[in-house]
Amino acid sequence: MALGRKGKRSVVIGIGLAGLALAIGLVLYALNDTIVFFYTPSDVAEKSIQPGQRFRLGGLVEKGSIAKGADAKVGFAITDTDKSIKVTYQGILPDLFREGEGVIAEGRLDDSGMFVADSVLAKHDETYMPPEVAEALKEKGVWRGDEKSGGS
Amino acid sequence: MIVELGHYALVLAFAVACLQMLMPMAGAIRGDQAMRQVASTAAVVQLALIGVAFFALMYAYIVSDFSVINVSQNSHAAKPLIYRVSGVWGNHEGSMLLWVLMLALFGAAVALFGRNLPASLKATVLAVQASIAVAFLLFILTTSNPFLRQDPAPIEGLGLNPILQDPALAFHPPFLYAGYVGFSMAFSFAMAALIEGRIDSAWARWVRPWTLAAWMCLTLGIAMGSWWAYYELGWGGWWFWDPVENASFMPWLAGTALLHSALVMEKREALKIWTILLAILTFSLSLLGTFLVRSGILTSVHAFAVDPERGTFVLAIMGFFTGGGLALFSWRAAMLRQGGLFQPISREGALVLNNLLLAVSCFAVFVGTLYPLFYEFLSGAKISVGPPFFNLTFGPLMVPLLLAVPFGPMLAWKRGDLYGAAQRLYVAAGLAVLALIGALALSSKGPSIALIGFGLGVWIVVGALSDIAARIKLFSVSGTESLRRLAGLPRSAMGTSVAHFGLGVTVLGIIATSAWQSERILSMKPGERVEIAGYGVLYEGVAPRQGPNYREEVASVTVERNGAVVTRLEPAQRTYPVERQTTTESGILNSIWGDLYVVSGDRAADGSQSFRIYFNPLVRLIWIGAVFMFVGGALSLSDRRLRIGAPARARHASAVPAE
C-alpha cells in the first residue's frame, strides 16, 4: 500500500476517530439502559413509579420499623419524615445500618407497593451521610447539618 | 514542642517550594545558570522539611498527644502501635501530608539521581514539580492543617474508624499515593518539554522509569484496596465500580497507556505529541481522583464524612494544573517536531492499538463515573450509574485489547510479521479455545462474554509464556542452551512477559469469580447444616470473645468436604466500644480453587443466626496477578538499559542537539 506521509497519518487519525465514535456510541447506548434514578419516599408517591422499574430509594430508617424474619430476611421502612415506604431485603445488613440513620436501598417496587431491595448501600463512617439523602432531608427541613465531623 | 517543629518545618517547606518554583524561572529570564541550579538543592531541602513535618505528626500519634486535634480525633491510646502509625494517613489531614511527602520524594529523586539530565531541563522539571507542591502545601496549611492544637487536651482520643484498622489498609494509601504522585513526574517532564520546546527519545528514556515506578505502586495500591474490601467489608465482592474505586482506576488505565506509548517514543521517536498529552491527562486523572475522594461529591460506598470547602480547593488545584497543562499543550505542541510514521502491523502499531483501546476504555469509565454529576446539573434529577453500565462498555472494549496483548511483544519494530507471530502463538490459541470449550461445558447459564473472557485469560497467560519460550528457543535447542539464553534475556523483555502473564492471571480470576460464584443467604440454628459448592457448612453456635480494643460475637462454623472436616471458620461481629461502631469479620477458607466465604449477620429472637455464604472460584488469582504485574514492572525497572543515565545514552547523545 503506497500511501504518502499525510495519507498514513489520516488513516491513523481515522482509526482513532472511529474507535472514539464506537466508544461514544457504546457509552450512550449503555447509559440509556443502565442509569438508576434516586427517589425519596415522597418522590415515589408523587411520581407514581411503576412496579418493576429499578431505582434507588433513600431516606432515614424509620424508628421501630426493623423486623427480622427467617432466612436472613429483613423488613424495615425508609422515611423522609413525610412519607414512608416499606422495604424487604434478604441478606446481611451493613454494620452501620441503624434506626434513624441515613440509608440508600436499590431495587424495585412489587405489585403491592413494597420495595424489594437487592442491595442496601453501606458506608464506612458513622458520620457520613450520602449526599442525596442529606439534600432530601434539607428539603424537608429536618437536616441536622452540624453532625458532620472533620474526619477523612 | 516536636509538633510545633513539624508545623514550622511545613511552613518552611512551603517557602522553599516557592523558591524552587520561582528561581529557575528567574534564572531562565536572566540567563543566570547558577540561579537555575538552586532548584536541585531546594528539592532536597524541601524533602527534608516535609519529612520532619511528617515524622513529627507520626511522633504525636505514637505518643498519643491528644492536645493535637488531629490525633485526638483519629487515634486512641489503646490502639496497637501499627495502627497508631498508620493512623497518621488514616485521616484527611495526615493523608494530604503523605501526599506532599511523596511529591517531595519524587522531586528530590530527580535532583539527586538526574545528574545526566540536561541542566535546563532538570531545572524546569523541578520548577514544575515545585509548583504542584506549592499548591498542595498551601491547601494543607490553610484548610487541612494536621498540627493544630486544642486546649484543654482531652484525656482520650476518639479512635480510628475500626474498618481502617487492618494491615492491608495500613499500606494501601502509601502505595496508592506513590502511584498518583509518581505520575506528577511524567506531568512535570511533559510541561518542561513543552516549555523548552524540544523532545526526543532521550526524554522518553528519562520519563519511563518514573512512570513505571508510579504504575507499579498504583497497581499494588489498587490491588490492596480491592483485597481489603473483599475480606474486610464482608460483601463477598472485590470491585464495585464505585466512584472512589474508579477514581484510582482511571489514572491506572491512562498510566498503562502512557507506559506503552513512552516505549514507542523511546525506541522509534514516534507518538511524541500523544505521549505528552497522555502524560498531562494521566496526572490530571490522579488529581481528579484526589478530588473525588476528598470532596465526597459522589455517593460512594467507600466515602467518609467530608468538608465541602476542601473539595472546592482541590477542584481549583485540579482546574489550574489540568487547564494550564492543556493550554500550554495546545499552544506549544505544534512546535514539537513530528515523530516518524510506521506500518500498522508492527510492534509500534500494536502499541498504538493498546493506547487507543486503553484511552477509550478510560473515557468510558470517566463518563460512567461523572455522568451522575452532569445529569444532576442539567436536569436536577439524581441518578446513579452502576456495574451494568461498566460491564456493558468496559467489558467489550477489553476484548480486542486482551486479544492483542500476546501479539505485541512477538511483532518486530518497524515491520512486523503477523503470520510469523501467529505461528508462535498456536499453542496459546489452542489452549485458549480448549479453555473456552471447557468453560462452555462447565457452565449451564453464565453470560457468553464471561466465557470468552476465560478463553482470553488463558490466551494471555500462555501467550506470555510462549513469548519467553520463543526467545530462549525452548525445545529447538538443547536444554542448557535454553537456560543460558534465559539468563541472558534482557530484563525488560522478561518484565513484559511477567507483567502480561500477571494480567492474564488477573483476567482469569475476575472471569471465574464473576461467572461461577455461588451464594446462599439463610438463617441457621446451632446444629444446622447447608451445602454449597461441594462443601458442607455446619453452624455450631456463637460465643463472645474479648480482643485488644474490641469485643466480638464469634459464630463457630465447621466446614466439611466429602464427609471429612476441613476447617473451622469463625465469622464474627465486632464491637469497638471507643468508636461505638460494629464491623463484620468474614470467615474465609482459601484454597487454590476458590474461597469459601462466610459472613454472619443478626441473630433472630428464636436463636437462629443469619448467614451469607459464598464460594468464589479462583478469586485469589485477581491479586496474585497484580503481584505478577508489580514484579514484571520491577524486572523492567532493574534493566540496565532503562536506568537513568545508563551508558546507552551516549549512543543517542549526538542525536540530541539535532532535535
In this predicted structure, what is the pLDDT of residue A148? 40
- Tell me the pLDDT band of B643, cut-offs 50, 70 and 90: low
CA dihedral A60, A65, A70, A72 (to 10 degrees): 10
A72 and B396: CB-CB below 8 Å?
no
Q: Across residues B32-39, what is the average pLDDT? A: 86
User: In this model, does residue A150 exceed pLDDT 50?
Assistant: no
Residue to mutate among B99, B290, B299, with most A CBs inside 10 A, is: B299
User: In this model, does residue B41 exceed pLDDT 90?
Assistant: yes
Q: Do B608 and B525 form a contact (C-beta atoms < 8 A)?
A: yes
B92 and A150: CB-CB below 8 Å?
yes
A148 and B582: CB-CB below 8 Å?
no
- Total residues found in chain B within this entry: 659
Q: HSE-up of B250 (CA within 13 Å, CB side)? A: 28
CA distance B496 to B498: 6
Q: Which of residues 71-90 of B touch A (CB under 8 A)?
A: 73-74, 90
* Residue percentage of chain B with pLDDT more than 90: 48
> How deeply is B67 buried, as exposed, middle or buried, from its count of CB atoms within 10 A (0-12, 13-18, 19+)?
middle
Query: Which residues of A are less than 8 Å from B601 in CB distance?
Result: 72, 91-93
Our measurement of the distance from residue A60's CA atom to the centroid of its chain's CA atoms, rounded to an integer in Å, reads 14
Provide the residue type at B356 as one letter. L
In this predicted structure, what is the pLDDT of residue B446? 57
What 3-state class would DSSP assign to A50?
coil
Q: Which residues pair with B544 in a beta bridge?
A: B553
User: The complex's ipTM?
Assistant: 0.83
User: In this model, does residue A145 exceed pLDDT 70?
Assistant: no
CB contact A19 to B (< 8 Å): yes
> Which phi and psi angles does B195 have, rounded to 5°?
-65, -45
User: In this model, does residue B348 exceed pLDDT 90?
Assistant: no
Query: Which residues of A are less than 8 Å from B582 in CB distance?
Result: 95-96
CA distance B91 to B247: 18
CA distance B179 to B652: 30
Chain B closest-CA separation from residue A111 CA (Å): 23
CB contact A9 to B (< 8 Å): yes
Chain B closest-CA separation from residue A127 CA (Å): 6
CA distance B341 to B271: 9
Place of cell 528539592: B43
CA distance B190 to B143: 30
CA distance B421 to B346: 11
- Tell me the pLDDT band of B633, cut-offs 50, 70 and 90: very high
Q: Which residues contact B208 (CB under 8 A, 6 or more apart)?
A: B259, B262, B263, B266, B642
Closest Cα to residue B137, out of B282, B241, B19, B25?
A: B19
Q: Is the Cα torsion angle B171, B176, B179, B182 positive or negative in sign?
A: negative
- Identify the residue with better confidence: A141 or B509: B509
Helix axes B243-268, B272-295, angle to 10 degrees: 160
In this predicted structure, what is the pLDDT of residue B68? 93
Query: Which residues of B are less than 8 Å from A35 in CB distance?
Result: 371, 375, 383-385, 389
Query: Which residues of B are less than 8 Å from A31 in CB distance?
Result: 367-368, 371, 385, 389
Q: Is the Cα torsion angle B2, B5, B9, B11 positive or negative in sign?
A: positive
- Tell me the pLDDT band of B650, cut-offs 50, 70 and 90: very low
- Identify the residue with better confidence: B235 or B470: B470
DSSP character at residue B412? P
What 3-state class would DSSP assign to B119?
helix
Q: How many CB atoms lie within 10 A of CB B152?
A: 7
- Tell me the pLDDT band of B137, cut-offs 50, 70 and 90: very high
What is the SS3 string spanning B316-375? HHHHHHHHHHHHHHHHHHHHCCCCCCCCCCCHHHHHHHHHHHHHHHHHHHHHHHHHHHHH
pLDDT in tens, B301-317: 666 666 777 888 999 99
Query: Which residues of A are less than 8 Å from B302 in CB distance?
Result: 124
Chain A closest-CA separation from residue B328 CA (Å): 22
CB contact B397 to A (< 8 Å): yes
Span of A36-50, B70-84, B305-319 with lowest mean pLDDT: B305-319
CA distance B151 to B322: 41
Range with the largest mean pLDDT of A136-140, B13-17, B172-176:
B13-17
Give the distance between the most distant pair of CA atoms in chain B.
Answer: 84
pLDDT in tens, B354-405: 999 999 999 999 999 999 888 888 888 888 888 889 988 898 889 999 999 9
**Is it true that the peptide bond before B152 is cis, omega within 30 degrees of 0?**
yes
Average pLDDT, chain B: 87
CA end-to-end distance (rounded Å), chain A? 59
Place of cell 539464553: B485
pLDDT in tens, B214-262: 999 999 999 999 998 898 877 778 888 988 899 999 999 999 999 999 9
In this predicted structure, what is the pLDDT of residue B304? 66
CB contact A128 to B (< 8 Å): yes
pLDDT in tens, B181-211: 999 999 999 999 999 888 878 888 888 888 9
* Residue percentage of chain B with pLDDT more than 70: 94
Chain B closest-CA separation from residue A76 CA (Å): 14
Span of B135-149, B342-356, B620-634 with lowest mean pLDDT: B342-356
CB contact A146 to B (< 8 Å): no
